[in-house]
A and B are shown apart, each in its own frame.
Chain A
Amino acid sequence: MTLEISLTRDPAHLRHGSNVGQSLTRTDGILKVTGKARYAADNHPPGMLYAVIATSCIARGRVTSLDVAAAKRHPGVVDVMTPSHKPELAEDPDAKGNPFAFRMELLQSDEVRYANQAIAVVIAETLEAATEGAALLSPRYQVEIARVGLDAGEAYAPPVVGIGNPAEVVVGDVEAGLAAATKLTDATYETPAQYHNAMEPHAIVAVWDGDRLFIDTPSQGMAFAQMRVAGLFGIPPGNIHVNSPFLGGGFGSKGLISGPQVLGIMAAKLVARPVKLVLRRSQMYGPVGHRPPTRQRLRIGTDDAGMLTAIDHHARIVTSSFDDFYEPAADASHTLYAAPAIHTAHEAVRVDTGTPLFMRAPGEATGSIALESAIDEAAFACGLDPLEFRLKNYAEVEPTTGKPFSSKALRQCYAKAAERFGWARRPLRPKQMRDENGFLVGWGVGTATFPAIMFQGNARAVIRADGKGVMETGAHDMGQGAWTALAQISADSLGLDLDQLTFRSGSSDLPDAGIAGGSGHTATVGAAIHNAGAAVIAKLAELATSDERSPLFGAGNAGVIARGGRLYRRDDEARSEGYAEILARAGLAEVDGTGSGAADPAAQSQYAMHAHGAVFAEVKVDPELGQIRATRMVGAFAAGRIINPLLVQSQLYGGMIWGLSFALHEEAVMDHRSGRILNANLAEYHVPVNADVPPMDVITVDEHDPHVNALGIKGVGEIGITGSAGAVANAVWHATGIRVRRFPIRIEDVVMGLGG
């Protein structure tokens, strides 16, 4: 079943004509505010059973016994899936078929690789019975000593970081640059493990029909999920129908189908009935990825004029004992500052944890807070205002490649945000400002950047006999607003007003739209839609201009313009014809066309493509009690064309809050002996609450980028975190004079740093 959304009532501010650039409210807004938006776990097919995972409480070792009989005795329990009782898989879940195939635990053995790993699945008539059944399994273990933390073992050089990036990059002679520096900033920063914690826990409702499989599950990449499931179960990808109209947040954790989701499919197969499996919150701290801890050493050399002589950025990161994901933290130093010599390198340590994965701005976020802190320290060492220092060392070309930027309005971002914030009044030295209640006040700045990435995506467009349009694409809305922004692009691509368009999305039965990640979904799918629309318009134009009876006959070389459901002759807009008339005369029920979107390799080889921004933050700190509160944040961002300013503002706000959270709140606490996560919940794993969030201001700076893609879109999903985390951290330093290099900044850092 495919969800479609037509605009049946006017959202706020709707104007006709061009749809892109309008601040439309969300087309799925009514569904979401009425509770009618159906998320995966809201489905309940007839005959459905509940599956609940039992998880390991040790981080390393083996399960030596499970009391399956006790679980089965519990009223309502139907079956217990264990390593010795499960459907056969067609493929080893530990096989590495491609760089996006991460190993998953599907009960292939009794081995435990990390705490919270699935060790059995209890299937029951009710959720209550399945939950208690899982508790009754009372596992026993053979425990091995867990490897925990950044110093758990021998560090090694990873083969690559991120997706195929080199682990080490060298430009110029860094040691010579550092030796020539008159000031050297040498500082080491630590960032903690963080968990995505989308509000919606991973969930799946799986229904088998012979060798066809129907799954409702949140996915940022339905085609990837299809391929993986197809391989595991030995069925063609086309037999797998993924329905994912709404994700309750993803942030990277739903980019690839996870082990627990596959366990739901296995459970449905085992009992030959529909099964719902929903992770408990605590179970999300393990099998669905996380941001790994990092330790980053930055050495920054500057000369007497405050110019950079070298940047050396070294990151130690952890990955799991059994798979390879390497957070590209040091890569943050590749693009922002014009140092003549730059060296970035990574080393990794294996620990007993679930495999870290992509989490909103993977590498960029961890790297940014370290780099922006270090740049701030270097500026102060030079006696320069941190904004002035950043402008002095502004990169006119990408420092590590020498490529020109396809567009870079960062100067304007600095200027506009600084003005809005009132930065000019900032004292250079820390601990100079107090508010009327005696709280210490500090101001900090950070530079934001994120690459403009595109994946591969497709769309299909239709103009029907009634002149209305349909756009189909298997896109993913995890909150960023795909239902709305892509509909806006669709309407423009078909020359329709938005209320003449039906937009279908959120299903793998539609054209593969690629993955919603890397802030590249709108660019990728937008380009596909743009091309699909153009293909349909071209067909309509061909029908009209080659037909003597059409007022557009013979327009051939001059061409036509599509607008408001009509084609107009470009050189004479008095001559036009509606889509419905064109189709009626041709005797066609509809015309359709397809399009795809992907990066242009020629442009990529010529230009460095990044979005940029500048974030300014104010914090207040209680001088005795150490409690910190961000009180103001202003960000200006240049990210190419803005499809929907209202939604973009929301994305940037969200990113800035993640930055604030990175600096002040988030941290998974792991017992250093057992490897168990002690705050695997939302009470003690602190994500910001409403009261933590200050009044915020977002400015978008116009940027017309002809090189990134036909629509000029760069993406805004992740950039808001970068810069913001550093800005908040720098503001804390400016308030207190205490440079905290271990994040999040804690109350004791301030209490013990400030004399009472």
Chain B
Amino acid sequence: MMNFDYVRPANVADAIAAASEKGAAYLASGTNLLDLMKGGVCRPSRLVDVTRLPGLDRIERLADGSLRIGALVRNAYLAHDAEFAYAYPAVAEALLSGASAQLRNAATVGGNLLQRTRCAYFYDVGSACNKRWPGAGCDALKGENRLHAVLGWSEGCIATHPSDFCVPLVALDTVVEIEGKDGRRELPLEALHRLPGDAPSRETELERGDLIVALRLPAQAKDFAAHARYIKVRERTSYAFAVVSAAATLRITDGKIGEARLALGGVAAKPWRAREAEQILAGASPDAALYREAARAALADAKPSGDNTFKIELAQRIVVRALSLAAAGTPARIPALPGSPFSSVAGA
């Protein structure tokens, strides 16, 4: 990797100042960034180490019922927080579905939001990639692309966002707290990631120097605790990125779905919120036909970006599965298990 200046600011303001220079990058645990630097995909000239910034490693229950998770909280720490897992079970399932225990111990929740795609053409610096080199073209488009996007892609980029964690977060209306040159602002997580359009290199709404300092799960997110699941299909039983995944959370009263939240992973450049499907579910009685209708609505705009037609079918089926399991009720188990089909049978 290229040599870099290493700076370890004492506070957020210094961090933002240090990271506002061209070529600078924030370093949290580095589980993704160092991988990219070793592969020559990222070559920052300055690393701003934020791991010692005070106050960013706390989980706080706020007076309004929301939960504020500092950006430096480790994935494993959050997943294994029993109170958290009871309140947001699908998030715990998603956290434990990602990577390995070692990586979850290191990786921060803020970093997880910003992990880069696993598109092989993005990682292979010998290939053309509009993300790495705007205007270079996209070798994935007519390449080996059976795992690429089926929603929201463009001719410029068909990569997917690899995070498991973000999928239930986006379903639960998570808010991202950002500190920047002009102070603090908030963004719904759903609006943080951008679809590729004609600027695939612009992956998020963050500006240079912006630092994610916390995530906030709103008070209502807890209302789904009784019916919340995350399901992930992958090509190994563990330690593999999603082919497709889904988070479904329901509020069920008197046998009717009061409110539904649904999001998909592995299908687009961002964690994909399926709002049309949610509207179909709201107010209806939960049954298989309804789930299938919702699944069709969720994938209504899907189209294959290559050799990946099966993902459209698979995504619909995983939506049906996630909804059925969520309706059947969140399992009581703590610690949560990863959201694998084999550990996610109803009530298990």
A and B touch in the complex (CB under 8 A): yes
Interface residues of A (CB under 8 A from B): 57-58, 75, 115, 128, 131-132, 135, 437-439, 620, 622, 624-627, 629, 665, 669-674, 676, 678-679, 683-684, 686, 688-692, 746-748, 751-752, 756
Q: Do residues B236 and A686 form an inter-chain contact, with CB atoms below 8 A?
A: yes
Does B318 sit at the interface, judged by CB under 8 A? yes
Closest chain-B Cβ to A142's Cβ sits at a distance in Å of 15
A residues in contact with B173, CB < 8 Å: none
Q: Judging by beta carbons under 8 Å apart, are A747 and B243 in contact?
A: yes
Contacts A624-B317, A692-B237, A748-B310 supplied; 8 other A-B pairs, CB < 8 Å: A131-B1, A625-B317, A627-B234, A665-B236, A684-B118, A689-B238, A747-B243, A751-B313
Residues of B close to A128: CB separation below 8 A = 1, 3
Report whether A673 and B143 are in contact in the complex, using a CB–CB cutoff of 8 Å: yes
A752, B120: Cβ atoms closer than 8 Å: no
Complex Cα distance A290/B1, Å? 28
Do B237 and A629 have beta carbons less than 8 Å apart? yes
Are A691 and B314 within 8 A (Cβ)?
A: no
| Chain A residues positioned under 8 Å from B345 (CB to CB) | 437-438
B41 to A: closest C-beta gap in Å:
11
Residues of B within 8 A of A688 (CB): 236
Q: Are B127 and A674 in contact (CB under 8 A)?
A: yes
B63 close to A (CB within 8 Å): no
Given contacts A57-B124, A671-B143, A684-B118, contact A756 B317 (CB under 8 A): yes
Q: Beyond A132-B2, A673-B143, is A752–B40 a contact (Cβ under 8 Å)?
A: no
Contact of B233 with A626 in the complex, beta carbons under 8 Å: yes
In the assembled complex, which residues on chain B have CB atoms less than 8 Å from the CB atom of A673?
139, 142-143
Kindly provide the distance from the CB of A278 to the nearest chain B CB, expressed in whole angstroms. 14
Query: Contact: B118 with A683, CB < 8 Å?
Result: yes
Given contacts A671-B144, A676-B124, contact A665 B235 (CB under 8 A): yes
Q: Is the CB of A752 within 8 A of B313?
A: yes
Q: In the complex, what's the smallest C-beta–C-beta distance from B336 to chain A, in angstroms?
A: 16
CB < 8 Å: which of B146, B241, B317, B342 contacts A629? B342
Contact A747 B233 (CB under 8 A): yes
Complex Cα distance A281/B18, Å?
34
| B342 and A620 contacting across the interface, CB-CB below 8 Å | yes
- Say how far B184's CB is from chain A's closest CB, in angstroms: 36
| A57-B126, A132-B1 given; A671·B139 CB < 8 A | yes
Residues of chain B lying within 8 A (CB to CB) of residue A756: 313, 316-317, 320
For residue B240, CB closer than 8 A to chain A, the reply is yes
**Would you call B239 and A689 a contact (CB within 8 A)?**
yes
What are 10 contact pairs spanning A and B, CB under 8 A?
Answer: A624-B321, A625-B341, A671-B139, A674-B126, A679-B120, A684-B241, A686-B235, A691-B236, A747-B243, A756-B313
Evaluate contact between A625 and B126: CB separation under 8 angstroms: no
Set of chain A residues within 8 Å of B243, measured between Cβ atoms: 747
Identify B233's interface contact among A437, A627, A676, CB under 8 A: A627
Q: Give Cα A690 to B240, complex, Å.
A: 12
Q: Which of B248-304 contact A (CB under 8 A)?
A: none
Cross-chain contact B320 with A627 (CB below 8 angstroms): no
Q: Is the CB of B321 within 8 A of A625?
A: yes
Best-surrounded residue of A626, A629, A748 (most CB of chain B within 10 A): A748
Bound-state CA distance A690–B321 (Å) is: 26
What is the distance, in angstroms, from A193's C-beta to the closest C-beta of chain B?
13
A669–B123 Cα gap in the complex (Å)?
14
Complex interface: chain A residues within 8 A of B314 (CB): 625-626, 747-748, 751
- B233 and A625: CB pair below 8 A? yes
- Asked if A624 contacts B320 (CB within 8 A), the reply is yes
Min C-beta distance of B272 to chain A, whole Å? 18
Would you call B51 an interface residue if the criterion is a C-beta within 8 Å of the partner chain's C-beta atoms? no
Minimum Cβ distance to chain B for residue A573 (Å): 57
In the complex, which residues of chain A have a beta carbon less than 8 angstroms from the beta carbon of B120? Answer: 669, 678-679, 684
Given that A629-B342, A678-B120, A691-B236 are contacting pairs, would A752 and B127 also be in contact in the complex, using a CB cutoff of 8 Å? no
CA A683 to CA B313, docked complex, whole Å? 25
Q: Whole-angstrom distance between the alpha carbons of A671 and B140 in the complex?
A: 9
Q: Which residue of A lies closest to B120 (CB)?
A: A678
Residues of A close to B239: CB separation below 8 A? 689, 691
CB pair A689 B236 closer than 8 Å:
yes
Query: Please, how many angstroms separate the alpha-carbon atoms of A626 and B233 in the complex?
Result: 8
Q: With A622-B341, A627-B233 known to touch, is A57 a contact of B125 (CB < 8 Å)?
A: yes
Task: Return the CB mask of B216-258 against A: 1 if under 8 Å, else 0.
Answer: 0000000000000001011111111101000000000000000
Interface status of B75 (Cβ within 8 A of chain A): no
Given A627-B341, A676-B124, A686 contacting B240 (CB threshold 8 A): yes
> Which residues of the other chain, A, contact B174 by a CB distance below 8 angstroms?
none
Instruction: Contact check, B121 vs A678: say whether CB atoms are below 8 A apart.
Output: yes
Distance of A387 Cα from B231 Cα, bound (Å): 37
Interface residue ranges of B295-348 to A (CB < 8 Å): 310, 313-314, 316-318, 320-321, 340-342, 345, 348
Closest to A667 in B: B235
Whether the Cβ atoms of B237 and A691 lie closer than 8 Å is: yes
Chain B residue at smallest Cβ distance from A75: B3
Task: List B contacts of A439 (CB < 8 A).
Answer: 342
- Give Cα A32–Cα B279 distance, bound, in whole angstroms: 59
CB-based closest 7 A-B pairs: A57-B126, A748-B310, A678-B120, A691-B238, A691-B237, A437-B345, A622-B341
Specify which chain B residues have a CB less than 8 angstroms from the CB of A747 in the assembled complex.
233, 235, 243, 310, 314
> Which of B125, B127, B144, B341 makes the CB contact (< 8 A) with A672?
B144
Which residues of the partner chain A approach B1 to less than 8 Å between Cβ atoms? 128, 131-132, 135
The distance from the CB of B70 to the nearest CB of chain A, in whole angstroms, is: 28
CA distance A690 to B348 in the complex (A): 21
* CB of B267, distance to nearest CB on chain A (Å): 14
Closest to B292 in A: A756
In the bound complex, CA of A193 to CA of B107 (Å): 33
Residues facing A in B97-143 (CB within 8 A) are 118, 120-121, 124-127, 139, 142-143
Q: Are A746 and B235 in contact (CB under 8 A)?
A: yes
**A624 CA to B231 CA, complexed, in Å:** 13
Please encode chain B, from 10 to 23, with 1 for each CB lying within 8 Å of some chain A CB and 0 for all others.
00000000000000
Q: Decide if B127 touches A676 in the complex (CB within 8 Å).
A: yes
Are A678 and B144 within 8 A (Cβ)? Answer: yes
Q: Which residues of A contact B142 (CB under 8 A)?
A: 673
Distance in Å: Cβ of B45 to nearest Cβ of chain A = 13
- With A624-B317, A627-B341, A678-B120 known to touch, is A752 a contact of B310 (CB < 8 Å)? yes
The answer to whether residues A678 and B124 also contact, given A671-B143, A692-B236, A747-B235 and a CB cut-off of 8 A, is yes
Of all chain B residues, which has the CB nearest A694? B237
User: How distant is A61 from chain B, measured CB to nearest CB, in Å?
Assistant: 12
Q: Contact at B126–A676, with CB atoms within 8 Å?
A: yes
What distance in Å separates the Cβ of B142 from its nearest Cβ neighbour in chain A?
Answer: 8
B253 to chain A, nearest CB (A): 28
Residues of B158-211 at the interface with A, using a CB-CB cut-off of 8 Å, are none
CB distance from A546 to the nearest CB of B (A): 66
Cβ–Cβ contact A132 & B3, under 8 A: yes
Measured in the bound complex, the distance between the Cα atoms of B126 and A625 in whole Å is 34
- How far, in angstroms, from A616 to B317 measured CA to CA in the complex? 31
A189 CA to B318 CA, complexed, in Å: 30
Q: How far is the CB of A755 from chain B (nearest CB, A)?
A: 10
Bound-complex Cα distance A673 to B238 (A): 31
Q: How far is the CA of A691 from the CA of B232 in the complex (A)?
A: 15
Within the assembled complex, what's the spacing in Å between the Cα atoms of A438 and B317? 15
Using Cβ atoms and an 8 Å threshold, which residues of chain B touch A624?
Answer: 317, 320-321
Chain A min CB distance to B264 (Å):
13
* Contact residues in B for A438 (Cβ distance below 8 Å): 345
How many angstroms from the CA of A673 to the CA of B321 in the assembled complex? 38
Q: In the bound complex, how far is the Cα of B238 from the Cα of A684, in angstroms?
A: 12
Contacts of A665 in B (CB 8 A): 235-236
The residues of B that contact A620 with a CB separation of less than 8 Å are: 342
B236 touches A748 (CB 8 A): no
Compute how far the CA of A132 lies from the CA of B37 in the bound complex, rounded to whole angstroms: 10
Within 8 A of A (CB), among B28-49: 40
Min CB distance B297 to A, Å, is 16
From residue B4, how far is it (CB to closest CB) to chain A in Å? Answer: 11
Q: Which A residues are in CB contact (< 8 Å) with B240?
A: 683, 686
* Complex Cα gap A165–B139 (Å): 41
Residues on A with C-beta less than 8 A from B40 are 135
